[in-house]
Structures are given as structure tokens and as C-alpha cells.
Chains A and B, each alone.
Chain A
Amino acid sequence: MKLNSRLLSSRIVLLIVSLALGLVVMFAVTSRMFDGSLDTMKDTPDYTSVLLVNGLIAGSVVLFVLELRMDAVRVVLTVIVALLFGYLVTAIFNLDSAQRFTRGEFKVSLASDAAVPDVEDMDIQYGRARAGDFNNDDQPEPLEEDRYRFAGSEGDEITILAFAARANVEVDLQVALLDADGNELAKSTEVTQEQIDAYKPDLKSTKDAAITNYTLPADGLYTIHVKPEDLSQSQIIKEMLSKTRVAYEAFLLGPVDRVLRWSFWIQDALTLILLGLSIAIVFRAEQFSLGAEGQLYFGALVSGVIVLSFGDVPKTLLVPIALLSAGTAGFLWGLLPGALKAYLGANELVSTLMLNTIATRFYEMVLTFQLQPPDAGYTASDWFPSSGQLTPIVEGTQVTIAVYVVIAVVILTWLLIRRTPIGYEIRMIGANIKFADYGGINTKRTIMLAMAISGIVAGLAGAHLGMGIHRKLILNISIGLAFEGVVVALLARNNPLVVPFAGLLYAYLRTGARFMESDANVSFEVVRIIQSIIILLITAQALVTIFRRRRIRRRGTLDLDLEAGANGGLPPSLPAEEGAHV
């Protein structure tokens, strides 16, 4: 009785915490999207749908916390560690960002009211200017510094300006005046605001240099020595950090900047959720099948062909038919490696990877030789007829009714794994295949079916890519999306109810990386480096053991209730999982 009430109270606390977190996330996303103003929100078309989707995001957060409990902390920590690592990588890539102060086109002008002395072969003379380009890598021998000789007379009042040639050149110049023996007479590294005002439009920023109203001490030859200022260590680090900050701001806040960017996030998340579910099903059965990629291609191809050939059929009929056939195509393409694995014992990892390539090539072939319109400039099919496109629920974006399909698939997958005999068999096999076999489960059939059923979901993801996002078939419709699905499934600990959150989280990172690339010129691949770190950290069981051992030592006992979800293994072993729900 006492135990029960403790259990109950901890559940309630968890529920409240998760609801609060969900609301915070929903509020943060919405207010960021609409700049925190209600009027902007009401001016946006279909803002109710946007709110609805944001509500679903909140729901996914609630499920994430409720299902994973303490394990949720570990997932979040892993992502944070991986993000920190990504920050380091980005910073290293930006090490050279201060270099822009040492390169670029510049001009040097020499001015004086005095008469020009009559000396031949001078580099520069009063009233003239010279131009150059520092450290341009395109030139065979980049210019690092430059010297100009000129002739002057005693008492000439001269003004030397060294400045960037155009407003967008950021070169930081220094200029010095040398006499004939090479002694430095005057030097300038920066200019004051007054000088900028006085010598418009030549001087543009304080990075330029100027020696103004200098009176020459004697007749003779003088040299102007101009070069970029040496970079100080602190300047390099400051520049690096500020550039990295800009990049990471685009990375972490970019996807919720405005509705259009938000829609990229959501549509990517829908695909990833489907793929994550597909991978979660096979991982549940301890089958390391990566066939989702090939199944996705077949799903996209079959749904695309159906939509293109039966454009006249009304939408209410065509869309379900196309989705169903995409699922069937995925099912069949999953049945093949499933049968190979179950009945012949062929390594499912290698076979699915090979079948993926075969499917991709087949897709390319059909697309290039059958579907591509003859006059097309690039390899893609015709646009899908409007009856074959998923209806957008937010105007002007590709956030479509696929949202509802995904919700349905999440629930169905959960029911399949938790509430059906086949799901039970899948979990048993994943927990201990020998035990399952002795217990009378037809393990071969179940393994085959698990791989085939996961194919259905992956096929749907393909249909979503074709009918929802691109609205036609294109080459490279998915580049390694199955691997992204692996990350999603891992983050979700193969729990279908957590997959939506994991998919949203990972899609957020992916979309953010795209904006980081466009806004801050940092390669998109950084997010894939982060992805590999996430996989490594989240599968490293010993890390969990270390934490758990410390906690046990601190408390003296192992709190079974809170630990139930946190067995850290992959996939979670059955008894612990059951314990969480009993």
C-alpha cells in the first residue's frame, strides 16, 4: 500500500513535469515563430493548424518524458554532449575566419598640394593612387606586402591613405612612411572617426590607415610601406567564437525563425518519424536491418507511378490507394531480406545494404527511362496531378495531412508492438531468441514478418517524400535517410511512442544544419558528424553502468521503478520494459 502510493505520487509528479515541459516547448516554438506577437500570428494563414502541430509537438514531449523517465535525461544529455562536440568542430572550421582581415583589394593614395618633383621611375606621385590585392590565393604568388617609392621635397605636406577598395572588403591595413635609408618616419594602423569623415569616400572604416598632413623633413626619396596588420591571438579567437556563435544560432534557432522554415522542420520530421518507426520495429526483434532505404525507394516509386497514371481518379480514392500500394511495395521488399535471414540465415545487414543499392538503381532506371518527360532538362518525373498530392494543412507549405497519417502510424505501431500477439513475439525474440524458440514461437516467421512490416512503414515514408514534399519523383529522393532513421530509433530507445519526439528533435538538428550552411557557410555535414557521436554515445552501455553504479552507491539501493526504463541496452530488455508498465 505504501509502495503503491509512492508509485502513484511519482507518476503524478512525472505527469506534471512532462506537461509543463511540453507547454514550455510549445510556447517557445510558437512565440519564436511569430516574434511573440499575437497580431503576426493572426495574419498568418492557417495559424490554427500551426498551433495544432505545435500542440502535437508538446504532446510528443509529454510522451517522451512519461515513457522514458530518467532515461530521457540521458537522451537529452547525449544530444547536448554531441552538440558541444559539434560546436568544437564548427569552431575549428572557423579558425581561419579572422583571415579575412588580411586579404582583399586595397588602394593607397598619396596627396599633397606641393608640386610634383621631377624624378623619373617613381612608383607613385602626388595626386595619384595605387591598387593591389593582398593574399589572394588565386594568384600564383599572393601579395603579402607592398612598397611604393616616391620623390618629395622638404616641407611638402603630404597625406597617405591606405584603404579597402570596396565596402565589402574587410582587410585591416597598416601603412608606414620610410625615408631613403629605411627608417620609419610615421606609421598608422587605424583611423579615427574624424578622419573617416574628413576623407570620404576613400576611408570607410577604422580598419583603414592614414598618415595625414605629414611634413617631409628633407628632399629625397621616400617609401610607402603598406601591409595587412598582423593578427593577434585574441583577435583570432574572438573572430572564431563570434562566427561560431552566428553559425550555432542559425543552427539552433533557425528552424523556428518563421513559418516557412518551421514547415521544413515539420515535413522532415514526418519522414524521419516514419523511418524511425520502421527501424524501431526491426531493432525490437534484434534484427539489424537497414532495408528502410530500399523500401522507401520502392514506396516512392510505386506510389508515384500510380499517382501519375491515374490522375483522373478523385483524391479521396487515389491518395489512400497510393499510400496502400507504397506500403505493400515496402512490405514485399522487406519480405525478401526477411526470408533470406529467417530461413537461410543470411546476414541481414549486408543483404539489406545490397538490396538498397539494387532498389536505388532500379528507381533511377525507371525514372530516367520511363517517367522522365522527354523535354525535361533534368532527371525528374512530371509534377504529380493535384489529386495525387497530399493536401497541405498550412497554406504555402508542404506540411500536409501526412501529419494525421503519421499520428495514425505511430498509434498503430504502438498497438502492434504492445497489444498484438505478433508484437509480443517480436519483443520476445528481441529479448532472447532461444527462449522464444523454446517457448514455441515460430521465430523464423516472426523475424520475416518483422522485417516486412517495418517495410510497410518505410514505404509510407517514401510515399510521403514523393506525394507530400517533392510532389514529383526526383533523383536521390533520399540520401541515406535510413541511417537517420537509425538515430531516431536509438534516441527513442525503440519505443514507438517516443519516436515522434526523437524524430522532431533530430529533424530540428538537420533543418538547423541546412540554415547554418546557408546563413553561416558552415558545412551541413557537421550535423552528420553530430549524428555519429550520438550513435556512439547512446549505444555505449558502459557509460550507463558507470552512472548507475554511482547512483546505487549514493542511495544504497537500486530504485527499481525509476530504473525500469533505463536499462540502457539496445533494444531494452523485455523484463525491464514490462516492469515499467505493470
Chain B
Amino acid sequence: MFDDMLFQNVVDGIFSAAFLASMLRVTTPILLPSLGALISDRAGVINIGLEGTMLASAFTGVVFSAKATEWISPAISDPMLPWVGLLMGVLVGLLMALLLAFFHLQLKANLILSGIALNILGSSATVAIMYELTGDRGNTKGNLASFKMPFVQLPEFLADIPILSFFFKIFDNQSVMTWIAFFSVAFVWWFMYRTPVGTHLRAVGENPDAAASVGIRVQRIRYLALLMSGVFAGLGGIHMSMGYLAFFQKDMTSGRGFIALATPYLGGGNPIGTGFASLIFGFFDAISTRIGSLEIPSQLPQMVPFVATVMALVIYALQSQLTSRVRTLRSAEGEEFDVNFWGSIRRLSVLHMFLAMLAIIGIIIAVSMFSAPDGFKGAGENLSTGKVVSHGVAIALVSLALIVINLPFMLNVERIGHWRWWYSAGASVLSLWIYLSVFFILFLIAIDGQGVEMADTLIIVLGLALGLISGALIWLRLGGQYLTHNHHLAAVAAA
């Protein structure tokens, strides 16, 4: 069934340590500005200028790592140069954020429009200065000998321990920026939930007037939030130009600063969730390069992260609609309101939306297969049109089925309480089952490694079984059990 080389290659690719490592790598420049967006958003002053800030920092980092010996002091040793670049880059990120903060908080300029101005400034000033410094408008390759940030090597003995070796392959030789990014998640969480300033910051974002009335200095907190977002955007920019590449390219962030605005929404407004949301985008980003190795229009996989972002926005919007709906109900129904019930519904609705997102990505992949100019060709082996069509149709059908199952859920998310419990149980488990069994089947093929003649049926049965079990488990864990037993407690059901 899956005996062609190409599919094998793609599957192997996706379930390999190398793929996961590359996923971490492309997640980093989304995660860092996302944390910046999160902090500024939670303080009620969302920083739209992340993209321009990233560009400015990326460029400054490259320039200073290449020119520090000339401009600052010839005594700086080579290993120190990228750190000088990092420092200057972050400094410029801070300055850009300060500009935005000054114009918005002091001069009362519109936050969104000043953010747009910051983006234009970042994108134009970098190109203009690059042109002056190097005479090149495109990139600094060959003109500025810049440095990469160091890579973190893990101790070698880990590679010999059976299970750890897989993780060793993922985490070994990652840029220090990737480590900084993931430690930043922990830092931001600690900052936001365990420090007084962080609490004030959330209070300011929730209700600035109330915060001011209890003596919190709103203006100062907002300055801090914007400056912190500038620092994180700066770090993200540094990773773009000094993490795995060692040059600056015109507009090299290509929309990551904008995607970063959407991840906190998907992540439910907390750092951990934002981290996971960024990983999702990293996954789509990495998979789009992976699909890109097949000969299909490169534009289709490139669309995937952006489609995913729009979907994420919709998920978040539905979630917040649900929240406001619940709030209204709470005030209308008084004490009878059941928090756990609504929590379950909320988590389930996110699950459904996420599955729909995957389904739409699946359809895009299927369409990509059909619109391949020279058939579905790759990995050195020509595939027959029949196989292309069968794979494409399979993916599209699975995806369509998922959408059809989940559609009522997505459209009527606030009315779940009206439904019979078995519908929500059925929809959740069924759609999870479909996706997880596909996932497990592919995974089993991948670890089997040798084509699949010997145990096609066994693998498929095993995959389906694993999918069913984990689908049911996840549904129960997300509150499905609670929903089935207690739906009569719900305020809506009572009304």
C-alpha cells in the first residue's frame, strides 16, 4: 500500500530526529517574538512593530559582529564577536521598542499605526544602510564577514544510551539561540506569574483603570512591556541572521513578526501555550520545506503557515466568544453556573478547531499533489499518476471527513450544552481516531523502515487500534467524561 520510495522518504523525513531538530530550529525565530507579542499583549499594548524590530536587530547583529574589531576595539577575540553582535542587536531592538513606546505612551500616537511605521522603518533603514555599507541591496553575503552564534554540544555519552540517543540527536548541536528561546518561555512564565511586576502587568492589560486605582503605575508597566517585547524581537532577529545563516538578507524575516502576533492568541495568552503554538508553526514551517523537496509548486507549502495562522485566529476568536457567552450566562444564572462543565466544552472546542486546522492543511497538501507540474516526482523515482491521485484523494477525503464531522461543533460552539452527549463524544473520538491512526500507521512504517510488504495489515490494524485508544483517552482527559455525566448541570441545558 505504501510501497513507493517517495512516500517512504517523506514519512521517514517527518518522523526523524533530523526533522524534529529542524523544527526546533525554525520554531526559534517565531517563538522569541511571540513571547514579545505575548508580554506586550498582556499589558494591553500589543507591539505590531515586531517584524521591523527583528529586521533592525538582525542587521545590527550582522554588522557589529563583522565590524566590531574595526569600530569598537581590535582586541575583541573571534568567539566574542557574535556576542557583541547579539548585544548591539538587542540594544537596537530596545531602541525601536522605545521609539514605539515614546510615540504611543507619551505622544499618544495610535499604537497600531506607529507599529506599522516601525515595520516600515526597520525594513527600509536596514536596506538603505546595507546599501551604503556594502553597495548591495539584496544581502550582506560576501561583503560582511559576520559570525554565527555558537552551537551547544551535549556530552557525547548520551548518544550511546538507547532512548536518550534519539533526543540527543534532536537537541545536540542546536544554536545557543534555540536554547535561549526555550529557556525564555520558562523565564516569561516566572516573570508573569511569580513576580509582582508580572502580576501588575497582567492587571494593567485586564483593566488599566482598575489597576491605576490600586496604585499601579500603568504608564511605567506599559513601557516595560513594550521594551521587553523589543528585546525578545531583537533576539528573534539575531537568530534569523546569526543562528544558522551568517548574513543579513533584505526582509529576511518574511512575515514571522506578524505570525508572532497570532501565536499568543492560539496559545491561550500564556507563555507555555505560546511555546506550543510556536512549535505548531515551526512544524508547519519545517514540513513546508520538506514537502518543498517534492516537485510541486513551492508556493503551496509556503501558504501553509499563513493558512494555519488564520485558522488559529478563528480558534481564538471562537474561544473568546465562548468566554464572553459564559460570562453573560454566569451573570444571568447566578450560582448554578458550572465552571468545570464550561471548561470541558472550551477545551473540546479548541481540540475540534485544531483538527479542522490539520484537515485544511491536509487538503492543501492534496491539492499540491494534484497541481504538481511534472507529476508527483521526487526522491529519484517517478511515480505513476495513479498513485499521485490515490494519495491525494486519500488525504483530501480524510481531511474532508474531519471537517464534516467537526463543522457543527465549530459553528455552534456555544451551544454544545444543548446537544446529546454522544454527539460530542462521537465527533471528538472519531476525528481524533482518524488523525491519530494515520499518524500511528505512518510512524510504524517509519520505524519499520524496510518497506511494508510483510505486515501491511498488521501495521494498519495496530495503527487503527492505537488511534482509537489514544483518541478516547485524549477525549476523556479533556473533560469528555465530565461532560457526559454532568451535562444536566449546565446552565444552558437548564435554560
Contacts and interface: CB of A to CB of B under 8 A. Distances in A.
Interface of A: 89, 93, 288, 290, 340, 344-347, 349-351, 353-355, 357-358, 361-362, 364-365, 368-369, 480, 483, 486, 490, 523, 525-526, 528-529, 531-533, 535-536, 539-543, 545, 570
A319 to B, nearest CB: 29
B318 A344 contact: yes
Given A528-B124, A532-B118, A354 B262 contact: yes
B321 to A, nearest CB: 6
Interface in B314-351: 314, 316-318, 320-321
Q: DSSP class of A's interface residues: helix, strand, loop or mixed?
A: helix
Given A362-B303, A368-B297, A483 B120 contact: yes
A361 B118 CA distance: 25
A345 B120 contact: no
A103 to B, nearest CB: 14
Contacts of A532: 117-118, 120-121, 124
A93 B131 CA distance: 10
Given A532-B121, A536-B109, 6 more contacts: A351-B310, A358-B303, A365-B371, A483-B119, A535-B114, A540-B103
Contacts of A369: 297, 371, 373
A535 B113 contact: yes
Contact of A525 (B114, B116, B125): B125
Contact of A539 (B113, B124, B309, B316): B113
Contacts of B16: none
B127 interface: yes
Nearest to A337: B310
A70 B303 CA distance: 46
B42 to A, nearest CB: 15
Contacts of A347: 261-262, 265, 313, 317
B299 interface: yes
A340 B297 CA distance: 28
Nearest to A541: B108
A490 B113 CA distance: 9
**Which A-B residue pairs are the 10 nearest by beta carbons?**
A528-B124, A535-B117, A525-B128, A540-B107, A532-B121, A344-B317, A365-B299, A525-B124, A361-B299, A532-B117
Contacts of A523: 127-128, 131-132, 137
A361 B302 contact: yes
Given A350-B261, A368-B297, A528 B123 contact: yes
A93 B116 contact: no
A71 to B, nearest CB: 16
B137 A540 contact: no
A528 to B, nearest CB: 3
A350 B124 contact: no
20 contacts: A288-B113, A290-B116, A349-B112, A353-B255, A354-B313, A355-B306, A358-B303, A369-B371, A480-B120, A483-B119, A526-B124, A528-B120, A528-B123, A529-B124, A531-B124, A532-B118, A535-B113, A535-B116, A536-B109, A536-B114
B107 A486 contact: no
B369 interface: no
Contact of B128 (A89, A531, A535): A89
A490 B110 CA distance: 11
Given A525-B124, A542-B107, A344 B258 contact: no
B110 A354 contact: no
Contacts of A545: 108
Interface of B: 48, 99, 103, 106-110, 112-114, 116-121, 123-125, 127-128, 131-132, 137, 255, 258-259, 261-262, 265, 297, 299-300, 302-303, 306-307, 309-310, 313-314, 316-318, 320-321, 371, 373
Nearest to A546: B107
A369 B306 CA distance: 21
B303 A357 contact: yes
A361 B303 contact: yes
Given A346-B313, A529-B121, A541 B300 contact: no
Nearest to B51: A353
B369 to A, nearest CB: 14
Given A483-B120, A486-B113, A490-B113, A349 B303 contact: no
A523 B250 CA distance: 13
A344 B128 contact: no
Contacts of A354: 258-259, 262, 306-307, 309-310, 313
A353 B132 contact: no
A357 B310 CA distance: 11
A543 B114 CA distance: 14
A346 B121 contact: no
Contacts of B103: 536, 539-540
A483 B128 CA distance: 18
Contact of A357 (B121, B255, B261, B371): B255
Contacts of A353: 255, 258
Contacts of A340: 310, 313-314, 317
B107 A543 contact: yes
Q: Which interface residue of A340, A350, A543 has the most chain B CB atoms within 10 A? A: A350
B313 A351 contact: yes
Contacts of A528: 120-121, 123-124
Given A525-B124, A532-B121, A535-B117, A288 B112 contact: yes
A288 B48 CA distance: 12
B333 to A, nearest CB: 23
B413 to A, nearest CB: 10
B306 A358 contact: yes
B464 to A, nearest CB: 34
A37 B107 CA distance: 49
A362 B298 CA distance: 11
A540 B112 contact: no
A539 B303 contact: no
B316 A346 contact: yes
Contact of B106 (A344, A351, A486, A542): A542
A353 B116 CA distance: 12
> Of B110, B265, B371, which is in contact with the most chain A CB atoms at under 10 Å from its CB?
B110
A290 B115 CA distance: 13
A526 B128 CA distance: 7
Contacts of A570: 110, 113
A365 B300 contact: yes
A345 B300 CA distance: 27
Contacts of B116: 290, 483, 486, 535
